[in-house]
């Protein structure tokens, strides 16, 4: 019996376990209940949170049957509890959920049975924004990071190898920062000025004879990025420490030569920065 929304299913087209968010972004695929006693076709749907429902109902006794189902699998009205969402899933991929063109014909029961057995226990595929990926990284105990897969630009990493700490960068020119292939992170100070925010990396990079920090200047102009920082600065403190995460273009030296700039626009969900209180 299920007391939370159904959030995982088998995707026949990808031969993989997937989350409801993934399926909701790829509705053209065929999805099935993963329990070999059931294997009913399910479809993604979103009211508040994405989840799966079975138009033909789950087979009686399937662990995905809603809690108040009758013994024969009929009269299914989900109880209130059934709208509870489980813990957020850990993205296995940074980037928008991919739409695949290839469509496969519907599987037979025995093909599905074989796939369900092969996929038993494997983590669901789930694409996430940079913020989703960073949140999962922050929640994850260190010893699990090497085991959790993370696909970035079609390259296989783990939550350990896909993240790169700025402090290990040494004296190398900033152009070699792996921020187009991995999520880079490091300590940053954020100053709350009258008209703008200044985000400055603690790590400084060699540039000619100088040491130059990554600096993002965000004007307080009501933009998405300004509002994002407003929310992080609910208290009156003028300076705060954060961990800065970034994935995107290589930092560019400013005209004055005194700072390296990275994108200050966070409207892109994937190539942007994220701050987490240190």
Structure tokens at 161: 């190898």
- Closer CB to Zn ion, 33 or 69, in the complex: 33
- Closer CB to Zn ion, 36 or 181, in the complex: 36
- Closer CB to Zn ion, 10 or 275, in the complex: 10
- Closer CB to Zn ion, 112 or 262, in the complex: 112
DSSP 148: S
**Whats the size of the chain, residue-wise?**
278
Binding site for Zn ion (CB under 5 A): 33, 38, 58, 62, 64
State the nearest-atom distance from the C-beta of 58 to Zn ion, in Å. 3
Rounded to an integer, what distance in angstroms lies between the CA atom of residue 218 and that of residue 226? 6
Rounded to an integer, what distance in angstroms lies between the CA atom of residue 200 and that of residue 117? 50
- Closer CB to Zn ion, 81 or 139, in the complex: 81
Rounded to an integer, what distance in angstroms lies between the CA atom of residue 271 and that of residue 267? 9
State the nearest-atom distance from the C-beta of 113 to Zn ion, in Å. 13
State the nearest-atom distance from the C-beta of 129 to Zn ion, in Å. 30
State the nearest-atom distance from the C-beta of 12 to Zn ion, in Å. 15
Contact indicator for 164, 182 with CB cutoff of 8 Å:
yes
- Closer CB to Zn ion, 62 or 216, in the complex: 62
State the nearest-atom distance from the C-beta of 90 to Zn ion, in Å. 23
- Closer CB to Zn ion, 62 or 174, in the complex: 62
State the nearest-atom distance from the C-beta of 51 to Zn ion, in Å. 13
Rounded to an integer, what distance in angstroms lies between the CA atom of residue 100 and that of residue 254? 40
- The two beta strands, 183-192 and 239-247, are antiparallel
Q: For 136, phi and psi rounded to 5 degrees?
A: -65, -40
State the nearest-atom distance from the C-beta of 89 to Zn ion, in Å. 19
Residue whose token pair is 């402090």 = 167
At a CB cut-off of 8 Å and minimum separation 6, what does 15 contact? 115, 118, 119
State the nearest-atom distance from the C-beta of 40 to Zn ion, in Å. 5
Rounded to an integer, what distance in angstroms lies between the CA atom of residue 65 and that of residue 69? 7
- Closer CB to Zn ion, 62 or 215, in the complex: 62
Rounded to an integer, what distance in angstroms lies between the CA atom of residue 7 and that of residue 81? 14
Contact indicator for 50, 44 with CB cutoff of 8 Å:
yes
Rounded to an integer, what distance in angstroms lies between the CA atom of residue 6 and that of residue 29? 17
């Amino acid at each position: 019996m299920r007391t939370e929304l159904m959030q995982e299913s088998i995707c026949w087209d990808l031969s993989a376990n997937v989350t409801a968010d993934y399926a909701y972004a790829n509705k053209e695929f065929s999805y099935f209940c993963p329990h070999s006693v059931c294997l009913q076709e399910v479809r993604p749907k979103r009211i508040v949170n994405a989840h799966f429902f079975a138009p033909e109902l789950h087979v009686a006794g399937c662990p995905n049957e809603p809690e108040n189902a009758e013994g024969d699998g009929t009269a299914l009205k989900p109880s209130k509890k059934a709208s509870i969402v489980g813990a957020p899933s850990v993205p296995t991929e940074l980037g928008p959920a991919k739409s695949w063109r290839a469509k496969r014909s519907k599987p037979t029961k025995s093909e599905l049975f074989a796939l369900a057995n092969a996929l038993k226990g494997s983590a669901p595929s789930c694409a996430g924004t940079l913020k989703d990926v960073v949140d999962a990284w922050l929640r994850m105990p260190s010893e699990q990071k090497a085991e959790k897969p993370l696909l970035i630009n079609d390259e296989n990493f783990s939550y350990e190898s896909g993240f790169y700490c700025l402090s290990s960068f040494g004296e190398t020119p900033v152009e070699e920062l792996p921020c187009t292939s991995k999520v880079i992170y490091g300590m940053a100070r954020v100053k709350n000025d009258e008209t703008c925010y200044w985000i400055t990396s603690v790590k400084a990079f060699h540039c000619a004879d100088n040491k130059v920090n990554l600096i993002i200047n965000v004007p307080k102009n009501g933009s998405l990025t300004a509002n994002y920082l407003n929310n992080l600065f609910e208290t009156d403190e003028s300076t705060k420490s954060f961990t800065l995460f970034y994935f995107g273009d290589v930092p560019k030296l400013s005209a004055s030569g005194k700072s390296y700039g990275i994108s200050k626009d966070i409207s892109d969900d994937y190539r942007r920065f994220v701050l987490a209180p240190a």
